Chains A and B, each alone.
Chain A
Amino acid sequence: MSDGGPARRGGGPGRAGRGGEEPVVPRARPDSYYGRPVLKEPVWEAENVASYLFFGGLAGASSLLAAFAQLTGNRELPTVSKVAAAGAIGLSVAALVRDLGRPARFLNMLRVFKVTSPMSVGSWLLSGYGPAAGAAAALAVTGKLPRAGAAATAAAAALGCGVSTYTAALICDTAVPAWHDGHREMPFLFAGSAASAAGGLGLLAVRPEHSREAARFAVLGAAAELTAKSLMMRRLGAASEPYQTGRAGKLMETGEVLAATGLAGAVLSGRNRVIAGLAGAALLAGSVLTRFGVFEAGRASARDPKYTVAPQRERLAHAAAAVRPDT
């Protein structure tokens, strides 16, 4: 146990012909099958599925912001947020369909309803949310049928809560170590990231005197995102490595800096249009990078067998120690 499991011991995969010092037939590492991954790397493309995570979050949280801002008498922010929600959910669904191996069979998602499948739950949520968000935006822009508009706005807000968070369950309900092991904090991280993006968009697109709601929403969101992320890293301990190294590490770190900068900007912007706009852009960019970072961390953790084997070895060692307390 002192060495933290067998996966820490080995070096690289040790393939023949590299570096000239390896034997002709390389020795099998005791901790993996010739360095080959145990898991299959997710087949999802970052440009599709990480975008889908971002746009879904932006859409759902924008619908919520629009509904409450409208309720409390804001006259500019709701329309902008509703249009953003409708556009974002369109892009989100398009990205999802584009990523399917057989896009023509997209509607098979609605063949069954399964709570054991976050993707199934999400498909049903999206098929209710999409039309509601679209109607809310169209009626807000045209100013027609105010009652129907209010109903669509309320429906989009209610379903938007689920749309912006279910994707956390979707990626965590996998065997991918970095995703699954982060399942306690991921929904809060995603909710925070969604609020940060929706608030950021409001700050960017609406005059400061009408975007204070957006600024406060963004501040709460960015704070939640940064807190959830740091709690997750602390709980994961050594298993947080995929989030802190390589491409994923760079994305996560930059996302964090942008979120923190945007948060500060949103607090300080006041009536300054330029600072508010820059803060909004930073928050949006931070949310994008965080989603791509989480996505890349998952892929990296599936690629390297040590992230699969070492925690399982530790679990077995704990179980064995519990059976034989004398060791």
Chain B
Amino acid sequence: MTDLPDLLPASLPVIDPAERAGYADHPPRLGFFTDTSVCIGCKACEVACKEWNAVPDDGLLLTGMSYDNTEQLSATTWRHVAFIEQIGSRGDGPPGPDGSPGRLPGAADGWPGAADGTRWLMASDVCKHCSESACLDVCPTGALMRTEFGTVVVQEDICNGCGNCVSACPFGVIARAETDGGAHKCTLCYDRIGDGLTPACAKACPTESIQFGPVDELRDRARERVGELHESGVTQARLYLDNPQDGIGGGGAFFLLLDEPEVYGLPPDPVVTTRDLPRMWRHTAAAAAGLAVAAFAACLHGARERS
């Protein structure tokens, strides 16, 4: 997977989600590029997000698994910094795309901490603001909507807490709050970007690991960055969700990772469920028709019995 960016043609047909949602004249699509190679795990993004959006706290709990005590994105956590400690020999890594024997990257590539085969991975996760959003598709109330910036937000005054979006999200991002019963997630600071401000997390990030801007520009910048890293020997760097032809039409928020996505708790090849919905409806219609035929057949004989 490390050479995936090189396999991509230079220009791809790109879904314009805002246009598809009916915005005739709209500003450029805005999003995040999270470059985890410079993340220091400070969690300033988590705090800034909570402060700006007035999201309730999650309590002080120690997970005991790593320095990550936030654990996951939730209704009350819209930025989550994952922390992964990889210790010791890594001969048991996943096999390379060409079938080469598995070797987790880092052991002999000059990465800090590589001498004893130990490294720390840190990554700030967030809603992906998919080009094809399952949460938005399945929402029965229209509470989830596409903004003019191509982002996805929940209208809190409309959501009735049905929970359908929670099961539909391929990343486990959106969740229902115990407190008010409604679904909540990152808004990409809809109330800031409309006024030309940077979202709180990106503003607070001290290392520019979280970069905010027009998605087109961010994609170019991300490809440049991954090229730089490859040149300097960090061959395990790869982009995640930057490809407009992937299973979600590309993310409005995408990432530069230093290991397989699943190591960070991300699905390696997510596909929006609604791509299969036409087939589901066809099969449902066939089953409904079959049910009617079965009822008819079951009763047809009854008339003969009585006659």
Q: How far is the CA of A180 from the CA of B66 in the complex (A)?
A: 32
Please tell me if the beta carbons of B291 and A42 are within 8 angstroms of each other in the complex: no
Q: How far is the CA of A252 from the CA of B151 in the complex (A)?
A: 41
Chain A nearest Cβ from B1, distance in angstroms? 8
Return chain B residues, CB-CB under 8 Å to A60.
291
Please tell me if the beta carbons of A190 and B86 are within 8 angstroms of each other in the complex: no
- Chain B 141-176 near chain A by CB (<8 Å), digits 1 or 0: 111000000000000001111111011111111111
- Chain A 84-123 near chain B by CB (<8 Å), digits 1 or 0: 0000000000000001111101101101101111111001
Chain A facing B: main interface SS: helix
Q: What bracket does the count of chain A residues touching chain B fall in?
A: 35 or more
Please tell me if the beta carbons of B269 and A316 are within 8 angstroms of each other in the complex: yes
Among A30, A71, A100, A186, the most chain B Cβ lie within 10 Å of the Cβ of A30
Please tell me if the beta carbons of A187 and B287 are within 8 angstroms of each other in the complex: yes
- Chain A 148-191 near chain B by CB (<8 Å), digits 1 or 0: 00000000010001101110111111111001100111111011
B65 at the A interface (CB under 8 A): yes
Please tell me if the beta carbons of B86 and A72 are within 8 angstroms of each other in the complex: no
Q: How far is the CA of A312 from the CA of B173 in the complex (A)?
A: 18
Chain B nearest Cβ from A255, distance in angstroms? 18
Q: A117-B140, A187-B286 are in contact. Are A173 and B265 (CB under 8 A)?
A: no
Please tell me if the beta carbons of A61 and B295 are within 8 angstroms of each other in the complex: yes
A141 at the B interface (CB under 8 A): no
Chain A nearest Cβ from B139, distance in angstroms? 6
Please tell me if the beta carbons of A15 and B64 are within 8 angstroms of each other in the complex: yes
**Segment of B31-39, B88-96, B221-229, B230-238 engaged in the interface with chain A:** B88-96
**Segment of B10-18, B202-210, B271-279 engaged in the interface with chain A:** B271-279
B134 at the A interface (CB under 8 A): yes
In this complex, what residue of A is CB-closest to B1? A316
Please tell me which one of the listed residues B171, B177, B269, B298 contacts residue A65 in the complex, with CB atoms under 8 A apart. Answer: B298
Chain B nearest Cβ from A156, distance in angstroms? 12
Q: How far is the CA of A101 from the CA of B177 in the complex (A)?
A: 8
Q: A30-B94, A212-B305 are in contact. Are A101 and B295 (CB under 8 A)?
A: no
Please tell me which one of the listed residues A25, A302, A313 contacts residue B66 in the complex, with CB atoms under 8 A apart. Answer: A25
Please tell me which one of the listed residues A39, A172, A216 contacts residue B298 in the complex, with CB atoms under 8 A apart. Answer: A216
User: What are 5 A-B pairs at a CB distance below 8 A?
Assistant: A72-B299, A117-B140, A165-B288, A172-B276, A324-B98
A residues whose Cβ falls under 8 Å from a Cβ of B = 1, 6-7, 9, 13, 15-17, 23, 25-28, 30-34, 36-40, 42-44, 60-61, 64-65, 67-69, 71-74, 99-103, 105-106, 108-109, 111-112, 114-120, 123, 157, 161-162, 164-166, 168-176, 179-180, 183-188, 190-191, 194-195, 199, 212-214, 216-217, 220-221, 224, 302, 305, 308-309, 312-313, 315-316, 320, 323-324, 327
